[in-house]
Chains A and B, each alone.
Chain A
Amino acid sequence: MITIEDLKRYEIFAEMDLTELKLLSAMAEERQAREGEELIRAGSPAQTLYILQEGGLMITFPGGRAITLHKPGRVVGWSALVSPTQYTASVTCLTDSTLIAFPGSELLRLVQRNVVFGTKIMRKISEVLSRRLPFLQDKDKRLLKQRS
């Protein structure tokens, strides 16, 4: 079970108040993944957003370029919150990893119902996105531009 204290540790939730953290904690689940496991496949429906708790991840973009994540609190699977909710990159575990999983549909519902919460979380997601934008394919960039 993921507690409010667990969530508070991560930068992405730093601006959340207690009520928002409670809602997030209720929908969060711990997910264990094995070394070499493909957590996310590019092109598949984006159903889950993950926060890295422990381990190492490799994000592979179309074309074979990649970035690696090792620090707790890193976000993968932001596509679950952005239409057309389709993953734009693949994520593979470099080690046995522990992640916090948020169901995309529930999180999206929360974003749509609560404007303040939605603004906070989408601001964080856009920060992640801006760092990964150079790796995205042109069609994905165009799509994101249209949405904004």
Chain B
Amino acid sequence: MTGFSAISAGNGWLISALGISVVFFGLASLAFIISFLPRAIGWWNEHGQTPKYFFPLVKSLFAQRRTKTARFTEARGIHEPGEIDDVEESLRLITAHTGEPFKLPRLIEMAEQRGLARVHSTINRLLVRGTIIGGDDGLFRWAKGSEKEIPGESKS
């Protein structure tokens, strides 16, 4: 027995289909894991020293992913959806390193060096919203939860 009949007799078609499926699911799983790598590295940089928070972090990974998908559905102004929140997150990371209170021009400079988009208008929006507060000393800080309702300019 040779040719197609030999393949059929030896369950060749089934084995081929199974092989294709295994390779397909293997590659799909790999792609899924790789798509999470940038976020995982970001977390590691931020929370690498506190392994006891690992499981809450894993939970928040999926939570953040859902939030970001939702943000894409509500475009506001001239910014790309979710862009401000991304830039805000990055600005918070920068100030976590530099400390508070911080110098606003220095923060803008550092954010631009990191290639963040629309830094000026994002900061303007955060100032107007009261998320960043300017002090009488010309230095700025992030508002605590209860302060967020006091928007406005730092001083004139």
A and B interact physically: yes
Interchain CA distance A64-B134 in the complex, whole Å: 13
Q: Label chain B's interface by main secondary structure.
A: mixed
A31 in the interface (beta carbon within 8 A): no
B127 touches A56 (CB 8 A): yes
By beta carbon, the residue of chain A nearest B122 is A94
A98 in the interface (beta carbon within 8 A): no
> What distance in Å separates the Cβ of B77 from its nearest Cβ neighbour in chain A?
10
Residues of chain B contacted by A36 (CB below 8 angstroms): 119-120
Q: Interface size class for chain B?
A: 20 to 34
Residues of chain A contacted by B137 (CB below 8 angstroms): 65, 134
Q: Provided the pairs A66-B103, A94-B120 are in contact, do residues A131 and B138 lie with their beta carbons within 8 angstroms?
A: no
A68 in the interface (beta carbon within 8 A): yes
Q: Provided the pairs A60-B105, A70-B128 are in contact, do residues A65 and B120 lie with their beta carbons within 8 angstroms?
A: no
A35 in the interface (beta carbon within 8 A): yes
A35 touches B120 (CB 8 A): yes
Q: Provided the pairs A56-B127, A56-B128, A68-B127 are in contact, do residues A94 and B156 lie with their beta carbons within 8 angstroms?
A: no
Count contacts between A and B, CB distance < 8 Å: 71
What is the 8 Å Cβ interface bit string for chain A, positions 69-99, against chain B (1 contact, 0 not)?
1110010000000000000000011110000
What is the 8 Å Cβ interface bit string for chain B, positions 111-148, against chain A (1 contact, 0 not)?
00000001111011001100000101111100000000
> What distance in Å separates the Cβ of B124 from its nearest Cβ neighbour in chain A?
4
Chain B interface residues toward A at CB < 8 A: 103-106, 108, 118-121, 123-124, 127-128, 134, 136-140, 152-156
The list of the 10 closest CB pairs from A to B, nearest first, reads A65-B138, A94-B124, A56-B124, A64-B103, A67-B155, A66-B104, A60-B105, A70-B153, A67-B154, A36-B120
